[in-house]
């Protein structure tokens, strides 16, 4: 993002950290938008993350809380089971995130340019290159009054479509498969697809 590069460069110059977080159930501002923005922003002299975020982080009870990636003073955290208001959806995990990654110095997900990431990488948490959210759409004002579910056949058709519509990285060296440029292309198409799907869901729910 050209308009963001100047801010990012200034942050790097002054050793200012940037933390971006999202919930995987956020249909108002889908997390793919955050990821694509990161991949199109130059910080620390390099465009985007060098590796796709795929390191598991947990809460104080050792439960899966989402994924995290830290590189060149930028941190991206994706919460599982959280919507647009992360602390409201996942208060315990939000507290751990604040303590460990905002106020603290937790190194989970840190990549220093070598061949390894602190905490490892776990792509098995992704289904077709995505971390699935809940299948139901909560309806109500302030509190959930009902939950809408699309027919199983509709969901199955969508999953079948995304298996071929969402690009995946294959072939080449490990370094080539993880460079920022390739990630930008794959994530950009994913964002477009998810954006269209989110808009369709919201439109249909409004009609119903």
**Which is nearest to 194 in space by CA: 75, 26, 69?**
26
Q: What pTM, to 2 d.p., does this model score?
A: 0.74
Q: What's the whole-number average pLDDT of the chain?
A: 81
CATH number of residue 18's parent domain:
3.40.50.11320
Q: How far apart are CA 208 and CA 199, in angstroms?
A: 14
Please give the average per-residue pLDDT across 174-182, as a whole number: 44
The per-residue pLDDT for range 66-95, each reduced to its tens digit, is: 999 999 999 999 999 998 899 998 999 999
pLDDT at residue 171 in the model: 35
The per-residue pLDDT for range 99-151, each reduced to its tens digit, is: 999 999 999 999 999 889 999 998 877 766 677 777 788 788 878 889 999 89
Number of structural domains in the chain? 1
**Domain interval for residue 23:** 2-207
What percent of the chain stands above pLDDT 90? 45
Decide if pLDDT at 152 tops 70: yes
Phi, psi values for residue 187, rounded to 5°: -70, -30
């Amino acid at each position: 993002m050209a308009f963001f590069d100047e801010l990012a460069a200034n942050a790097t110059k002054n050793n200012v950290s940037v933390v971006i977080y999202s919930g995987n159930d956020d249909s108002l501002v889908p997390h793919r938008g955050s990821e694509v923005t990161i991949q199109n922003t130059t910080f620390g002299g390099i465009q985007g993350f060098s590796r796709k975020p795929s390191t598991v982080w947990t809460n104080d009870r050792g439960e899966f809380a989402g994924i995290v990636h830290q590189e060149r003073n930028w941190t991206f955290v994706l919460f599982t089971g959280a919507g647009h208001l992360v602390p409201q959806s996942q208060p315990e995990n939000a507290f751990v995130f604040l303590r460990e990654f905002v106020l603290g110095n937790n190194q989970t997900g840190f990549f220093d340019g070598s061949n390894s990431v602190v905490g490892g990488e776990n792509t098995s948490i992704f289904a077709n290159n995505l971390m699935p959210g809940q299948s139901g759409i909560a309806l109500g004002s302030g509190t959930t009054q009902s939950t809408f579910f699309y027919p199983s056949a509709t969901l199955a058709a969508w999953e079948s479509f995304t298996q071929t519509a969402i690009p995946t990285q294959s072939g080449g060296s490990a370094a080539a498969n993880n460079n920022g440029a390739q990630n930008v292309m794959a994530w950009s198409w994913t964002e477009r697809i998810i954006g269209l799907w989110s808009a369709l869901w919201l439109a249909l729910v409004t009609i119903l």
